[in-house]
Amino acid sequence: MQKKILVIFLLTIALGISFVLISQQDERIPQERETTKNAGSDSAYNLSPLPERPNRKAIHFGVSISKTGRFRVEGRNVIEGYDLWQEHVNKKGGIKIGNKSYQVKIKYYDDNSQIEKVRENITRLIVEDEVDFILGPFTSGFNLAASEITEKYGKIMIESGGASDAIFTRNQHLTFATQTSASWWFKDFFDMIANLDPAPKTYALLTPDKLFTRSVAKGVQIWAATRNIEEVYFEIIDEKTANFLPYLLEIVEKQPDIIILTSHYQDAVDFSRQISKIKELRPKAVVMTIGPSEINYVKDVGSGAEGMIGVTQWVAESSFQGPVFGTPADYVKEFVAKYDQLPTYQDAQSSTTGVIYQLALEKCSRLDTGEVLQNLRQLNIDTFYGKIKYDARGMNIGHKMALVQIQEGRMVTIWPPDAAAQTVRYPLIKPSKK
């Protein structure tokens, strides 16, 4: 009897260990980007009807955005993109549903780059301003917070500025993304870099302690492993740090082939200024998320920007084409005419968020949230930004990434091959002759 009990006890322990190992393995693999149907009815999702508006002539959108604070640069880009879409659609007569047309109206509140302010603003937009739909804020953490409020009140939100997988791995049903999810951001980079000569063997990874940057870092580790590129240094640092020197000095001892920073814009600027001062570091490539892809990056960093690689959601040289804005070249022309500067990927991304709403609305037989929701789930279309196709979680599984590099003081596209203006400059520092 005692022997039988011992056997059962050992089997229980073994089974428990197996479950732990399986769950840990699952955490390291990005969820399959497949389309499945949402189960249940819209009423089960607490989908709210649109507010009653006598003699309705407009569709009202609400946004909490960072006009001030740490994310003000990215916030400005998002506003520019939303506003360009609003101006474009209104000049064309508005959003057409059945035999009626509706103007677009967007209401903004500044969240001061503070998450509690985001929650306050989204609640105010829904409860007091009674907007019809929500356009997402910037950063993954803010979009996660916003979606908690929109899901509670049964409001649809399409967001342009939050890529973290965590936004879409909850029990959410009314939240949709425009961009590629964070864990997939670096897949194309490793596809490109692994085929270079000499192929990199090691990398160092720095990530500020933020939802988006941690999600991207997880993807970096996964995709690097698929290419047999070894991680020799990894550090999660304080989200507000502006001093990267202590970590860079530690990396000197490792001499990795690649140095990666998962970043927001100010992180990338501070990091780039400092890494260029450490002459002992000799990486073959340095790559960041939000940074080298931004219009003012070279100006803000100076000579230290040269050779830096940026991962980006969109480049103007792409060959995409679709409704509303046409081609990337068409979009750039219209953007420059309005703002007298070239668009960033965040500009294009937020304009596309408006386009997604527009396409879902214009497929409706009447102005109805249930029809809008169903149309979003079934959307599978090319736009000037790329393909839009949603899985059951609301993640855009159709979109692909691009890469840029600073060459001769200019941002140039180096990936994908069909959009590349130049090939990647690699390695950054040529090995010395002995």
Same domain for 278 and 321?
no
Q: Does any domain span residue 31? A: no
Same domain for 298 and 325?
no
In a structure prediction context, what are the per-residue pLDDT tens digits for the chain, which is 434 residues long?
A: 444 444 334 434 433 433 333 333 333 334 443 333 333 344 446 899 999 998 999 999 999 999 999 999 999 999 999 999 999 999 999 999 999 999 999 999 999 999 999 999 999 999 999 999 999 999 999 999 999 999 999 999 999 999 888 999 888 899 999 999 999 999 999 999 988 988 999 999 999 999 999 999 999 999 999 999 999 999 999 999 999 999 999 999 999 999 999 999 999 999 999 998 999 999 999 999 989 999 899 999 999 999 999 999 999 988 899 999 999 999 999 999 999 999 999 999 999 999 999 999 999 999 999 999 999 999 999 999 999 999 999 999 999 899 999 999 999 999 998 889 999 999 986 544 44
C-alpha to C-alpha distance for 175 and 7, rounded to whole angstroms: 49
Q: Does any domain span residue 232? A: yes
pLDDT at 430: 52
Same domain for 106 and 81?
yes
Q: Does any domain span residue 11? A: no
Q: Does any domain span residue 27? A: no
Q: Does any domain span residue 19? A: no
Same domain for 208 and 303?
yes
Length of the chain in terms of residues written? 434
CATH assignment of the domain containing 276: 3.40.50.2300
pLDDT at 327: 96
pLDDT tens for 320-338 read 999 999 999 999 999 999 9
pLDDT at 132: 98
pLDDT at 122: 98
Same domain for 52 and 154?
yes
Sign of CA dihedral 428, 296, 90, 150: positive
The number of domains in the chain is: 2
Q: Does any domain span residue 425? A: no
Same domain for 68 and 151?
yes
C-alpha to C-alpha distance for 32 and 390, rounded to whole angstroms: 12
Same domain for 125 and 239?
no
Same domain for 134 and 216?
no
Same domain for 83 and 161?
yes
Domain with 302, as residue range(s), is: 184-312+402-419
How far are the Cα atoms of 77, 100, 277, 419 from residue 344, in angstroms, in the given order? 7, 34, 28, 16
pLDDT at 317: 87
Same domain for 140 and 239?
no
Same domain for 90 and 198?
no
Same domain for 266 and 408?
yes
C-alpha to C-alpha distance for 166 and 182, rounded to whole angstroms: 9
